C-alpha cells in the first residue's frame, strides 16, 4: 500500500475540489472515525458539527485562501462543510469541548492525542551532509492520510503530508527549503483563547514562508487555542524546536547536530496534562536521541531503524495498539515521515516503519 499523492495547482477552490473528488472515500472514512471517537468521548455528532460550524466564519476571517480550499473539498467530496471543517479543526474542537465540559480529569480523560516522536538532524550529523527533519505520527487506527504537491504562482510551492479532507498539512517542506513537523502538547491553560488560528493553518503559514523569520512568526505571532510543538528546519543547516503554549513559547536547539521531542514540555514552564495520561512521552524523545548518537553519520537506513524502535512495546517510538487500553486511548504509528530540506523531498511510510519502507515524493514531480 502507498499513501495517495495529489498534484494540485494555483487556485485554492480548484485544489480543494480535486482533493475532494479524488479522495472522497478516504474523507468519508475520516469523518466517520472522528464522529465515532467524539461519540465515545460523550459528544453527540450534532453537537460536534454545530461546534465545527462556528469555526467557518472564523477561518474565513483568518485566511480566506485556506477557507476557499476547505470549501472546495466539501464541494468536490459532496460532504457538508461543517463535516470538512470538523476535520480541519478537530484538535482545537476536542480540547475546547472538553475544557467547557469541566476539563480533563482522572475520571474523565480526553482520550489519546496525536502521539508522535519528532527530530531534526543537522549536516554535521548526517551522512549526506543534509538537514533532515521527521517524525512518527501516532494516531487513531484507520485514519487516512495523503501527500499533496502544490504549485502556485504567487506563493511558495510545497509538498506536505496531512489527513484526507484537511488542507493545512501537518508536515512538509517548501521551495525555500523550510520544513516543519509537529507534536501534540497539552497544558492546563489550553482553551483559554477561543477561535485563534488552528495548528493546521499555522503549518500552512509555515509552508507559505519565504524565510525562517516568517516561519517563526507563523507559529508565535498570535495566541493559540491549544498547545502544539513544532520543529522548524532550514536547508541551510538550521533547526529549532518551538513549544507553543496558548500565549507563551519555549525554544530548544540542537545539541551536537541532534534535536528530538515527544509530547511533554521540556523547556516551557507550564503545568502539563500529558504525562499522567501518556507517560511514554518521558522516554521516547531521549531514547530517539540516544539511538541517533550511536551512529557516527546518520543515513536513511539508520533513521528507519531508529523510528522502528520497539523499546517498551507497544508504547514505543514505533507505536502499536495496546489492546488492554480503552479504545479511546488506543493509537498506533500511522505514518513515519522523513524530510530532506536540501532536496525538497518527503518520504512517508503507509503504516508503521517496522513493517513498511519509505515512499518518496519530491517537490519536483
CATH number of the domain where residue 322 is located: 3.60.60.10
Q: Of 56, 75, 100, at which residue does a domain stop?
A: 100
Assigned domain for 112 exists: no
Pairing mode, strands 249-252 and 238-244:
antiparallel
Q: Please state the domain count of the chain.
A: 2
Assigned domain for 361 exists: no
Assigned domain for 221 exists: yes
What CATH number is attached to the domain comprising 51? 1.10.10.2120
Structural domain containing residue 177:
117-356
Q: From the CA atom positions of the chain, what is the Rg in Å?
A: 19
Assigned domain for 63 exists: yes
The phi, psi pair for 209, rounded to 5°, reads: -75, 135
Q: What is the pLDDT of residue 305?
A: 97
From the list 315, 313, 307, the residue with the least C-alpha distance to 289 is 307
The phi, psi pair for 12, rounded to 5°, reads: -65, -40
- Quickly tell me which residue has 499533496 as its cell: 148
Q: CA 307 to CA 302: how far, in whole Å?
A: 9
Assigned domain for 209 exists: yes
Assigned domain for 337 exists: yes
Q: What is the pTM of this model?
A: 0.95
Q: Of 100, 125, 156, at which residue does a domain stop?
A: 100
Do 341 and 333 form a contact (C-beta atoms < 8 A)? no
Q: What is the pLDDT of residue 364?
A: 87
Q: What is the pLDDT of residue 278?
A: 86
Residues 200 and 57 in one domain: no
Assigned domain for 228 exists: yes
Phi-psi region at 141: left, alpha or beta (left = phi > 0; alpha = psi -120 to 50): beta
Residues 21 and 70 in one domain: yes
Q: CA 244 to CA 219: how far, in whole Å?
A: 7
Q: CA 108 to CA 53: how far, in whole Å?
A: 25
Residues 211 and 176 in one domain: yes
> What string of pLDDT tens digits covers the 365 residues of the chain?
699 999 999 999 999 999 999 999 999 999 999 999 999 888 999 999 999 999 999 999 999 999 999 999 999 999 999 999 999 999 999 877 766 665 544 334 455 566 799 999 999 999 999 999 999 999 999 999 999 999 999 999 999 999 999 999 999 999 999 999 999 998 889 989 989 999 999 999 999 999 999 999 999 999 999 999 999 999 999 999 999 999 999 999 999 999 999 999 999 988 877 788 889 999 999 999 999 999 889 999 999 999 999 999 999 999 999 999 988 889 999 999 999 999 999 999 999 999 999 999 999 87
State how far Cα 306 lies from the chain centre: 20
Assigned domain for 109 exists: no
Amino acid at each position: 500500500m502507498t499513501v495517495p499523492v495529489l498534484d494540485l495547482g494555483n487556485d485554492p477552490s480548484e485544489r480543494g475540489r480535486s482533493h475532494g473528488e479524488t479522495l472522497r472515500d478516504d474523507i468519508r472514512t475520516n469523518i466517520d472515525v472522528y464522529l465515532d471517537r467524539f461519540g465515545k468521548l460523550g459528544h453527540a455528532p450534532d453537537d460536534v458539527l454545530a461546534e465545527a460550524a462556528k469555526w467557518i466564519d472564523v477561518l474565513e476571517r483568518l485566511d480566506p485562501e485556506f477557507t476557499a480550499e476547505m470549501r472546495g473539498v466539501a464541494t468536490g467530496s459532496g460532504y457538508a462543510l461543517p463535516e470538512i471543517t470538523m476535520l480541519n479543526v478537530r484538535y482545537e474542537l476536542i480540547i475546547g469541548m472538553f475544557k467547557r465540559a469541566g476539563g480533563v480529569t482522572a475520571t474523565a480523560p480526553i482520550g489519546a492525542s496525536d502521539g508522535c516522536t519528532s527530530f531534526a538532524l543537522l549536516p554535521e550529523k548526517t551522512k549526506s551532509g543534509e538537514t533532515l527533519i521527521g517524525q512518527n505520527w501516532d494516531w487513531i487506527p484507520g485514519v487516512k492520510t495523503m501527500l499533496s504537491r502544490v504549485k502556485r504562482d504567487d506563493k511558495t510551492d510545497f509538498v506536505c503530508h496531512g489527513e484526507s479532507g484537511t488542507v493545512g498539512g501537518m508536515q512538509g517542506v517548501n521551495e525555500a527549503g523550510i520544513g516543519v513537523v509537529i507534536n501534540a502538547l497539552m497544558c492546563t491553560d489550553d482553551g483559554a483563547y477561543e477561535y485563534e488560528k488552528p495548528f493546521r493553518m499555522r503549518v500552512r503559514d509555515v509552508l507559505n514562508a519565504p524565510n525562517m523569520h516568517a516561519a517563526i512568526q507563523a507559529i508565535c505571532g498570535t495566541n493559540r487555542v491549544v498547545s502544539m510543538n513544532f520543529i522548524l528546519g532550514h536547508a541551510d543547516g538550521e533547526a529549532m524546536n518551538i513549544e507553543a503554549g496558548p500565549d507563551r513559547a519555549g525554544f530548544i536547539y540542537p545539541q551536537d547536530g541532534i534535536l528530538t521531542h515527544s509530547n511533554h514540555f521540556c523547556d516551557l514552564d507550564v503545568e502539563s496534562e500529558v504525562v499522567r495520561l501518556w507517560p511514554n512521552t518521558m522516554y521516547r524523545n531521549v531514547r530517539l536521541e540516544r539511538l541517533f548518537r550511536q551512529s557516527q553519520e546518520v543515513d536513511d537506513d539508520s533513521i528507519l531503524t531508529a523510528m522502528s524502535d520497539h523499546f517498551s512495546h507497544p508504547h514505543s517510538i514505533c507505536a502499536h495498539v495496546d489492546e488492554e487500553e480503552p479504545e479511546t486511548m488506543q493509537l498506533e504509528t500511522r505514518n513515519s515521515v522523513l524530510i530532506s530540506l536540501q532536496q525538497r523531498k518527503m518520504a512517508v511510510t503507509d503504516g508503521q516503519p517496522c513493517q513498511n519502507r519509505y515512499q518518496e515524493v519530491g517537490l519536483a514531480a
